[in-house]
Amino acid sequence: MTITPVILCGGSGTRMWPLSRSAYPKQFLALHGESTLIQQTAGRLAGVSDVASPIVVTNDEQRFLVAEQLRQIGVEGARVLLEPVGRNTGPAIAAAALVALHDDPDSILLVLPADHVIENVERFRQIVEQAHRFAANGKLVTFGIAPTEPHTGYGYIHRGDRLPGPYPAYSVDAFVEKPDTTRAAEFLESGDYYWNSGMFLFRADAYLRELEQFAPDVLCHVREAVSLAKQDYDFLRLQRDAFSASRADSIDYMVMEHTSHAVVLAAVELGWSDVGTWSTLAAISPRDGNGNTLIGDVVAHDTRDSFIRSEHRMVAVLGIDNLVVVETADAVLIASKECASDVKTIVEQLNATGRVESEMHRKVLRPWGSYEGVDSGERFQVKRIVVNPGASLSLQMHYHRAEHWVVVKGTARVLNGDKTVLLSENQSTYIPVGTMHRLENPGKVPLEMIEVQSGAYLGEDDIVRFEDNYGRTESK
């Protein structure tokens, strides 16, 4: 039976701010190694026997990030499902199961969060192979991580009787909510509990049967959302009204806590981490003789047991212990490791005050390339724009701003009102307020240019879009 990977790629990763932001969350970042977390997730599927192209469940805002990062590692044929609203893992997996069954009535789903680190990839593949025989017989298999500490941030699985076979697999006695420190210590000492990894293997039809028994309303709404889904270029958009009508809940609450067919495999020696906080990342990162992890342009003196990451400029630290320091182009985080899990409170504060630093970086990726803020002030804003070869921005106009474009590198084809001109290096053009315009890169090298905006309002939502190669209707 063919295994269809289902990569769950939602979430904002607020606890990894300032590197992870709502418009560019942690699954798209190279936090541990040279590849991003979603690329590592897709890459570890190589070598799993009889595996199909993955189904990726994400949202509209992140669809081009998913497509581009999979393209970079040569993943072909992936189906990208777009959730109109987030409804947690239960409905998301149901949508993926319905799509998989359309292609293969015997499909087995390997459900994987996009933001985990697994050091021992070969061990992961072996465990998937061991789980396959249970899944093929209608069991819903979850992968349990042997706890190494009394962690209070994970849910736990209490194992039941051992099942026949060479690999440690057990019936599931109970799923347990995140415990307090005392109970977590008891779980660790007993040896009968596992961390709930959020990874699963089961037949698509078996999951849907259980969902129909325990959450029939959810299955009804998701089935309608899939049946009315629309293909949009390389993406499948689930129907908004039907999917929104589903209640939001996890696969654990909807199915796994109720089914009598759950099996937990002891996923030992995986080198697993959910990379949930800067402290958990620090724990799995290489350290020097002083216990420090130093990434980027960092100078450290009389510093111990600290995680320091520089993305943009030189960072110097002196006489500190047990801190997390993360620097980006527009924000710096300094926190004790003990408080690193509370970074989301900073994000909440930024959101409450309307600060954009919680949402996006100074450099913003678009399907056609990227732009980066260089300077801004009253009634003006300066950006550096990069347009990929053969790509173009939408046909658009602005009510409140004019734009000056200066080509720094490459060739630009510019529609400016009723005229089309070609601009090369050091040439420029002016786009008046209210003028329809479009920017294209007809060349074979990236187009780099400086844009100077001037006007009463310079927000990204001041775009009237008439035509777009990427199916966008808003300022994205």
- Percent of all residues in the chain with a pLDDT value above 90, rounded to a whole number: 88
**How far is it, in rounded angstroms, from Cα 186 to Cα 135?**
31
Instruction: Write the pLDDT tens digit of every residue in 307-321.
Output: 999 999 999 999 999
> Which pLDDT does position 474 carry in this prediction?
54
Lowest-confidence pick of 258-272, 380-394, 459-473:
459-473
Containing 180, the helix (H) or strand (E) segment is none
Instruction: Write the pLDDT tens digit of every residue in 35-60.
Output: 999 999 999 999 898 999 999 999 99
Picking from 366, 416, 374, the residue whose alpha carbon sits closest to that of residue 392 is: 366
Q: Does the structure show a pLDDT above 60 at 166? A: yes
For 137-152, what is the mean pLDDT? 95
Mean pLDDT score of the chain, rounded to an integer? Answer: 94
Containing 382, the helix (H) or strand (E) segment is strand 380-387
Helix (H, G, I), strand (E, B) or coil at 127: helix
Please report which confidence band the pLDDT of residue 12 belongs to, taking 50, 70 and 90 as the band edges: confident
The structure's pTM equals: 0.90
CATH topology assigned to domain 363-467: Jelly Rolls (2.60.120)
Annotated domain spans of the chain: 3-273, 278-346, 363-467
Q: Does the structure show a pLDDT above 90 at 395? A: yes
Q: Does the structure show a pLDDT above 50 at 258? A: yes
In this structure, CATH architecture of domain 3-273: Alpha-Beta Complex (3.90)
Distance spanning both ends of the chain, measured CA to CA: 40
**How far is it, in rounded angstroms, from Cα 269 to Cα 414?**
56
> Which pLDDT does position 420 carry in this prediction?
97
Lowest-confidence pick of 150-154, 296-300, 382-386, 401-405:
150-154
Q: Does the structure show a pLDDT above 50 at 260? A: yes
Q: Does the structure show a pLDDT above 90 at 471? A: no
